[in-house]
Structure 1
Amino acid sequence: MGNFAVSSAMISLILRLFLLSMEVSSNPLSSFCSDNTADIYTVNSTFENNLKQLLESLPSNTAATSGFYNTSVGNGADQVYGKALCRGDVNTLTCQNCVQNGSQDILGLCNKTKEAIVWYDQCQVHYSSQKFSSIDNGEYPDPESNKLETDISDDLEDFKDVLELLVTNITTNATTSVLKLFGFGKVESENDEYVYGLAQCTRDISGSECTDCLNFAVEDLKSCCYSRTGGSALRRNCNVRFQMHQFDNNASDFPLIFPESEGSNWNHKMVLTLIGVIVFVLLLLIGSLVVFYRWNKETQNDEEQISQQGLLYQMARPRRVMVIQEGDLALATSEEFPFLDLPTIRAATDNFSDSNRIGRGGFGTVYKGVLPDGREVAIKRLSRKSWQGSEQLKNEMILIAKLQHRNLVRLFGCGIEGDEKLLIYEFMPNKSLNSFIFDVFSFGVVVLEILSGKKNSGFYLTEHAQTLIAYVWGLWKEGKELELIDPGLLESCSTPEISRCIHIGLLCVQEDPEDRPTMSDVMVVLGTDKTISLPEPKRPAFSVGRGLPFHLSLTTDPSSNPMTASNISGSQSQPIEFIDSSVTN
């Protein structure tokens, strides 16, 4: 494409800039007055008063509602409808001033007609005695500014192609911009010249109605201005405009690049070739990932099968367990697990009958069963979706077996066959841990013992505090409760869950039994509802020796090993025997 008559464009640009400097926005681009003689109102009539009231309301309301406002005043034959639209890129003050000028000028432009429109560079104002229609197929006068544009003398067809590309894109942007129905942009031609464009609809019509209106406006623009350096098409509900200079405030920073007229076929082939190479590489990559995924899955299945076979071999060894008793905790120094085959377990649970189901959790379902020797057991059938392999199952069983407590159910054995992984526990006949833990204090102690990896009994021999509970309470008050935790737990559990367990443990060992939660409460907050907010724990019972007043502080007599309690005021000390803190008040 050639120079588009550069000299003519320069003259047009200079003239346009001169007109802008004279505040073109204060002068209408065009106006429309109804030619129906029946649409004339009389002076000082109710209609005129309603019209003036309506026009006075438009400037501030249009500016306050993002550049568009429509309303009506009055009733019946004297009702007046009005709306105002500001260009989508102007600021609030400019919008209000433009609509203000339009509301004042429109009364003088049309001689008391009941419908009139006035268009400006930055806004339009419209009133009518009839409700506004979304259909806009009428004929409107060309703006006087179109006559100021010069003709394109060189490469006219190429120029029209550029305009077609620009107009297609800005009208598409306008109809898809739901909030403002406003589109703008620019197209760069092969000789580094830009053509700027803008399209807009009033916001009281739909996107499809906006498309219809803009189609009429584009036809108007083609008939008047496609051979000129600029032009506008103005209608009731929309307008379209293009110029060889920037006239809006938001011209696109990323213009459409108009394709070159020569060599375009070669460029097109290159683009297609590049796209083909990219697609081929992507398909090759996706195929490789699929093959790797399948190979990795098969490898994992093979490793799982080997691991399962090894675990089965280990579990088939003698079933003797040696246990060292330390207070309430029992630590297993060696552990081989009784192994039950799947048919035996199925027979024990009546083929996992629903009537034998006694519980369900995130990792599987628990069934009551009766072994061939008559023992009642609880069998946990791990979910196949639990993502727990044979090696992890083995580690879990070893960990559970090493920690035995008088208030914890015991692990008897396991069963593995194919995808089935089962754990066999001792059966709790009353269906509740509460039956094996006296008033909830002992449970709290067990929780703190498990979290810390330390026994409450004999804790006074450490340098931390006289009791495990006192040590935990001190860390809690200082906000250092995580220092309590066994390092092994920190690696495998989340910090919020650990802190919540410490919180629950302290609530269970509070001084006043009335403040302690019930075991039902504990089961709820531990198992089913993690969103329940917990109260702040009160001072715990550091010792549960009956009759010990809590205004006494615990000290250690340097001359003797037994713990004593001395009055804070310094009264004579006397020995007091401490009983194990896992016994409740």
Structure 2
Amino acid sequence: MSYASFCSLFLLAFLVSFISYAQQQDPTYIYHTCPNATTYSKYSSYSTNLKSLLISLSSNSGSSSSGFYSTAAGQTPDVVFGLFLCRGDVSQEVCRECVVFAAKDTLNLCPNERTVTLYYDECMLRYSDGNILMDFSMNGGIILFNPLNFTSNQQDRFIDLVLSTMNQLATEASNSSRRFHARKANFSALQNLYGLAQCTPDLTSQECLECLQLSINQLPTDKIGGRLIVPSCSSRYELYLFYNETAIGRPQLQLDSAPPPVFENTGKGGNSSVIILAVVVPVTAVFLLFVAVFVFRAKRKKTVYEMEPLAEGGKLPFL
């Protein structure tokens, strides 16, 4: 066996384990809310019912084709209602891993609260002592935005594109049986805008549309990226692809030409790193290594976002 062939086989084996490791990262935590207005004791009936509920949610997370499941456990006055919703483009395996992780995480983040909502990038888990099934809720959410702005001469065009794209997404998602849709639109010849909108499927089409319109109206559209998440729906836009395009198909681009965008830095940002590898191996092996490094960095990259919790009634503190 030649030296190059040996290096190729060694690198391939390394890549298999490397990619497997990258795919096993914990779900990306975003936010949680668990007001302590109502609590339960460790050995109460509510605690027992909650554990049964979390087991039920976890066990059904890998078989839900819609990425959504709701149920209840126990009897009044200690009944617990619960649900999970996975992002519409993730696989059943990713959905399962996220829900199982969230079910365990909730007992750490909110150890004795009766009403809890946990948000991750891949899924949401929610339970309460009140009936939250088929419930339209704009409370207990979070808004996140990238601190970078567009230059003033391009900002108006960008805001118009964000609003038109997101409102179109709201209509498409509300008319979908899964209450989910994502798409991209051209901002310039070199830059696309990516958007996603989703509701819990237990909402009616009209309720979903209303929820998304309310959330879109509060998006920080002067920023280059933003998202708003509430229990009943979520909306997000970015200048990079943040969802699995293959899982939802490849919608036709909206044609819109403009010069390449220029950003203004407000003084906050993340760190960057470069990994260079020099190995005398076949081109295929080098390509595979590049893919693996890209996947790993994408999994671990954390964009610096500003964050504002939503007040009761779904209004931001500064609106």
Q: TM-score, normalised by structure 2?
A: 0.68
CA distance in 2, matches of 1:255, 1:23: 32
Bigger Cα Rg: 1
CA distance in 2, matches of 1:79, 1:174: 32
Quote the residue 1:182 is aligned against.
Answer: 180
- Are 2:140 and 2:231, in contact at CA under 8 Å, matched by a contact in 1? no
- Are 1:72 and 1:80, in contact at CA under 8 Å, matched by a contact in 2? yes
Render the CA deviation track for 1:92-147: whole Å, top value 9, x for unaligned: 1111001111111112222411101011111100000000152323352334xx3x
Q: How do residues 1-80 of structure 1 correspond to structure 2 at under 5 angstroms?
A: 26-35=27-36, 37=37, 39-66=38-65, 67-80=67-80
- Are 2:172 and 2:181, in contact at CA under 8 Å, matched by a contact in 1? yes
Quote the residue 1:215 is aligned against.
Answer: 213
Counterpart secondary structure, 2:89: coil
Q: TM-score, normalised by structure 1?
A: 0.38
Render the CA deviation track for 1:9-46: whole Å, top value 9, x for unaligned: xxxxxxxxxxxx798752311111125x2x11111111
Render the CA deviation track for 1:398-423: whole Å, top value 9, x for unaligned: xxxxxxxxxxxxxxxxxxxxxxxxxx
Quote the residue 1:152 is aligned against.
Answer: 150
Quote the residue 1:231 is aligned against.
Answer: 226
Shift of 1:162: 1.2
- Are 2:182 and 2:197, in contact at CA under 8 Å, matched by a contact in 1? yes
Render the CA deviation track for 1:36-83: whole Å, top value 9, x for unaligned: x2x111111110111111112212313312111100000011100000
Render the CA deviation track for 1:159-181: whole Å, top value 9, x for unaligned: 11110121012111110102x11
Q: How do residues 426-445 of structure 1 correspond to structure 2 at under 5 angstroms?
A: none
CA distance in 1, matches of 2:59, 2:226: 30
CA distance in 1, matches of 2:158, 2:135: 33
Q: Which moved more, 1:66-75 or 1:205-214?
A: 205-214
Render the CA deviation track for 1:524-577: whole Å, top value 9, x for unaligned: xxxxxxxxxxxxxxxxxxxxxxxxxxxxxxxxxxxxxxxxxxxxxxxxxxxxxx
Shift of 1:153: 2.6
Q: How do residues 385-404 of structure 1 correspond to structure 2 at under 5 angstroms?
A: none
Quote the residue 1:255 is aligned against.
Answer: 252
Counterpart secondary structure, 1:240: strand
Quote the residue 1:135 is aligned against.
Answer: 136
Summarize the Cα distance change of 1:93–1:236 in structure 2 as closer, same or farther, 3 Å threshold. Answer: same
- Are 2:142 and 2:230, in contact at CA under 8 Å, matched by a contact in 1? no
Shift of 1:199: 0.6
CA distance in 2, matches of 1:24, 1:235: 25
Quote the residue 1:203 is aligned against.
Answer: 201
Counterpart secondary structure, 1:253: coil
Summarize the Cα distance change of 1:162–1:98 in structure 2 as closer, same or farther, 3 Å threshold. Answer: same
Q: Which amino acid aligns with 1:160?
A: I
Q: Does 2:206 match 1:191?
A: no
- Are 2:167 and 2:213, in contact at CA under 8 Å, matched by a contact in 1? no
Quote the residue 1:376 is aligned against.
Answer: none
Summarize the Cα distance change of 1:25–1:151 in structure 2 as closer, same or farther, 3 Å threshold. Answer: farther
Q: How do residues 156-555 of structure 1 correspond to structure 2 at under 5 angstroms?
A: 156-178=155-177, 180-221=178-219, 225-250=220-245, 253-260=250-257
Shift of 1:219: 2.3
Q: CA RMSD in A?
A: 2.2
Summarize the Cα distance change of 1:244–1:108 in structure 2 as closer, same or farther, 3 Å threshold. Answer: same
Shift of 1:85: 0.6
Shift of 1:241: 0.9
Summarize the Cα distance change of 1:220–1:105 in structure 2 as closer, same or farther, 3 Å threshold. Answer: farther
- Are 1:134 and 1:209, in contact at CA under 8 Å, matched by a contact in 2? no
More helix by share: 1
Q: Which amino acid aligns with 2:113?
A: T
Render the CA deviation track for 1:423-476: whole Å, top value 9, x for unaligned: xxxxxxxxxxxxxxxxxxxxxxxxxxxxxxxxxxxxxxxxxxxxxxxxxxxxxx
CA distance in 2, matches of 1:24, 1:59: 18
Render the CA deviation track for 1:463-518: whole Å, top value 9, x for unaligned: xxxxxxxxxxxxxxxxxxxxxxxxxxxxxxxxxxxxxxxxxxxxxxxxxxxxxxxx
Quote the residue 1:92 is aligned against.
Answer: 92
Render the CA deviation track for 1:329-367: whole Å, top value 9, x for unaligned: xxxxxxxxxxxxxxxxxxxxxxxxxxxxxxxxxxxxxxx
CA distance in 2, matches of 1:238, 1:212: 10
- Are 2:27 and 2:122, in contact at CA under 8 Å, matched by a contact in 1? no
CA distance in 1, matches of 2:130, 2:198: 23
CA distance in 1, matches of 2:90, 2:222: 28
Q: Which amino acid aligns with 1:185?
A: R
The answer for unaligned runs of 5 or more in structure 1 is 1-20, 263-585
Q: Which amino acid aligns with 2:51?
A: K
CA distance in 1, matches of 2:227, 2:218: 9
Quote the residue 2:274 is aligned against.
Answer: none
Quote the residue 1:409 is aligned against.
Answer: none
CA distance in 1, matches of 2:61, 2:235: 21
Percentage of pairs with the same residue: 28
CA distance in 2, matches of 1:113, 1:174: 32
Shift of 1:256: 3.2
Q: Does 2:105 match 1:105?
A: yes
Counterpart secondary structure, 2:60: helix
Q: Which amino acid aligns with 1:235?
A: V
After superposing on structure 2, the runs of 4+ consecutive aligned residues of structure 1 that deviate more than 3 Å are: 21-25, 258-262
Give the number of aligned pairs.
233
Summarize the Cα distance change of 1:256–1:236 in structure 2 as closer, same or farther, 3 Å threshold. Answer: same
Shift of 1:252: 5.1
Q: Which has the higher contact order (CA 8 A, sep 6+)?
A: 2
Counterpart secondary structure, 1:142: strand
